[in-house]
């Protein structure tokens, strides 16, 4: 099993630090690399509020992912660098492919590309456009994935879609990875899983999942692969989960209370440790190892850990280190 870490990225990510400083992002990235994580991940929004998670409705600032990963490539030399996930609406697909190929060059071939259809309406409002209905967002994503994959290898590439186009486009210098960096799609709906089967290298979903619920989505993916004659095992599976480990039950309880105290207000109100376990990678070191084995048995190749209670929140550094020890043993 490969392990990834969702890095602190937002002004709520680290308690007492608003705005979040880049040296803090670097500190977590370097600690994760030293602890044995295989990859580091950033999301893609213009800003984010936590009302969906029971937290404040205020909009928190964040670091742009492609620029930030390029900067991190200079300070961490082993781990892979990924996007979880890029929002289709924020960049023309051909321009996105250019940026990603450059990032792959800067990082010496360590980029993994996640793209999604977009879900956060304020991102669209900030662009001065209405968020399209789900079917249109999926179709836009379908076209974007084809353009990005077509151009990451350098081109020339031509594509005539309803929303994205490229005409004899050449992307030089091309990405380092041959034939190109892997491109996965994030989400969970039936239409999206059909898109994965047809056009993507992999699939991701996050942040709370039980094995039974995940297994049901896998069956949908498998049927979609069968329709297009693809081996379902060829789909690279990554899964994001909130995670917390303790040396024993007493230590786990202590760490959970620390997380509760450091989380944005409202997020963990009325949530006890037993409830927090559901759908998350939570337990003693031995329990976490058993859970990781169960996910591996479902074909998950990479677990991306969110060490917090909301996306891209960063728990204490010793939480990061213990999770690496527990999940990799």
Question: Which of 33, 45, 164, 199 is an active site residue?
Answer: 45
- Report the helix count and the strand count for the chain, using DSSP H and E: 11, 12
Pair 82, 33: CB distance under 8 Å: no
Neighbours of 272 (CB within 10 A): 11
DSSP-derived letter for residue 233 is G
Residue 22 vs residues 18, 19, 139, 304: alpha-carbon distances, Å? 12, 10, 35, 21
Query: Residue 173, preceding bond cis, omega within 30 degrees?
Result: yes
CA distance 241 to 216: 17
Give the residues across from 204 on adjacent strands.
186, 238
DSSP-derived letter for residue 5 is E
DSSP-derived letter for residue 222 is H
Residue 63 vs residues 11, 13, 213, 229, 270: alpha-carbon distances, Å? 9, 11, 32, 40, 31
Pair 114, 192: CB distance under 8 Å: no
Pair 120, 48: CB distance under 8 Å: yes
Closest CA to 202 of 216, 185, 226: 185
Tokens coding 112: 């993994």
199 tagged catalytic? no
Tokens coding 301: 């190749």
121 tagged catalytic? yes
Question: Which of 17, 121, 226, 286 is an active site residue?
Answer: 121
Q: DSSP secondary structure string, 96-117?
A: HHHHHHHHHHHTTS-EEEEEE-
Q: Which residues are known to be catalytic? A: 45, 121
């Amino acid at each position: 099993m490969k392990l990834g870490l969702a890095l602190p990225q937002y002004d709520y990510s680290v308690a007492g630090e608003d705005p979040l400083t880049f040296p803090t992002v670097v500190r977590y990235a370097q600690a994760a690399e030293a602890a044995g994580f295989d990859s580091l991940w950033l999301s893609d929004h213009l800003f984010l509020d936590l009302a969906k998670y029971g937290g404040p409705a205020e909009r928190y600032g964040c670091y742009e992912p492609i620029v930030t990963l390029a900067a991190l490539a200079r300070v961490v030399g082993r781990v892979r660098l990924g996007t979880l996930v890029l929002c289709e609406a924020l960049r023309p697909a051909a321009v996105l492919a250019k940026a990603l190929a450059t990032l792959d060059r800067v990082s010496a071939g360590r980029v993994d590309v996640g793209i999604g259809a977009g879900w956060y309406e304020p991102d669209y409002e900030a662009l001065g456009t209405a968020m399209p209905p789900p079917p249109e967002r999926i179709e836009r994503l379908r076209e974007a994935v084809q353009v990005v994959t077509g151009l990451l290898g350098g081109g020339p590439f031509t594509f005539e879609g309803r929303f994205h186009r490229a005409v004899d486009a050449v992307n030089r210098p091309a990405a380092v990875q041959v034939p190109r960096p892997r491109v996965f799609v994030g989400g969970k709906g039936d239409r999206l899983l059909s898109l994965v089967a047809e056009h993507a290298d992999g699939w991701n979903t996050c942040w709370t999942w039980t094995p039974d619920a995940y297994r049901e989505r896998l069956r949908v993916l498998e049927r979609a692969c069968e329709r297009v004659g693809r081996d379902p095992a060829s789909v690279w599976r990554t899964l994001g989960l909130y995670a917390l480990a303790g040396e024993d039950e007493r230590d786990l309880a202590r760490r959970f209370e620390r997380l509760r105290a450091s989380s944005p207000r409202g997020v963990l109100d009325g949530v006890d440790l037993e409830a927090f376990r559901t759908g998350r990678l939570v337990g003693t070191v031995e329990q976490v190892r058993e859970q990781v084995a169960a996910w591996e048995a479902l074909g998950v190749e990479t677990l991306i850990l969110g060490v917090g209670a909301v996306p891209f929140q960063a728990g204490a550094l010793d939480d990061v280190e213990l999770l690496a020890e527990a999940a990799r043993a």
